Amino acid sequence: MTEQQRLQFEHIATWSQVVCAILFIVFLVWVFRKYLMPGVLAVEAARNADLLAAEKRRDAVQGDVSKARAEVEAADRDATAIVARARAHASAERERILAEADADGERTVHNARGELDRARLAAEASLRADFIEQALRRARQQAAARIDAGANARIVDATVKRLERTSVPRSA
């Protein structure tokens, strides 16, 4: 073969390799689009669906969080109101108990004063009776020591005469 033929064959061989490469690339593109692209699109669609579902879950969770925050705030307000009512009730109950205790104390003091007055009167009467008994005992002792039988008879007679004079006359 001549040099020109050989070059022509080489040239044909080179172009044949270029055409084969182009056909191979076209075949690869066709295989990719026919078989791989639907899988890629399916994976992409699934991924998009997962992302959409995740966004929906996130939105739902955010809604739940908002509701929970509102409920916590309501519970805080309720707790504050309950504490305020409990304090008011405790204050009113304290005032009522103090008023009752004050009234009971006043009643007890009043009763104690009455008892004290009664005890004082009873003690005075008892003391008076004791003083009278002691005075009579002492008077008897001193009278027995100072007065003899003759003086006693004179005193008794004088007392009887005085009583007879002051007594009311009887009608016969």
Q: 138-167, pLDDT tens digit by residue?
A: 887 887 777 777 888 888 899 889 888 886
Tell me which residue has tokens 């009608």. 171
| Residue 89: both structure tokens together | 């009730």
Q: Find the farthest-apart pair of alpha carbons in the chain and give their distance in angstroms, rounded.
A: 211
Is the residue at 17 inside a domain? Answer: yes
Give tens-digit pLDDT for 19-66.
999 999 999 999 989 998 898 899 999 999 999 999 999 999 999 999
Q: How many domains does the chain have?
A: 1
Is the residue at 166 inside a domain? Answer: no
In single-letter form, the type of residue at position 132 comes to I
Question: For 92-102, what is the mean pLDDT?
Answer: 93
Residue pair 147/155 in contact (Cβ under 8 Å)? The answer is: yes
Is the residue at 144 inside a domain? Answer: yes
Is the residue at 70 inside a domain? Answer: yes
Statement: residue 109 has pLDDT above 80 = yes
Is the residue at 164 inside a domain? Answer: no
Statement: residue 121 has pLDDT above 80 = yes
Statement: residue 1 has pLDDT above 90 = no
Report how far apart the first and last C-alpha atoms of the chain are (Å, whole number): 210
Is the residue at 121 inside a domain? Answer: yes
CB atoms within 10 A of CB 122: 10
Statement: residue 172 has pLDDT above 50 = no
Question: Domain range for residue 20?
Answer: 3-158
Give tens-digit pLDDT for 4-22.
888 888 899 999 999 999 9
Is the residue at 171 inside a domain? Answer: no
Is the residue at 54 inside a domain? Answer: yes
List, as one string, the DSSP characters of 48-106: HHHHHHHHHHHHHHHHHHHHHHHHHHHHHHHHHHHHHHHHHHHHHHHHHHHHHHHHHHH
The more confidently predicted of residues 86 and 140 is 86
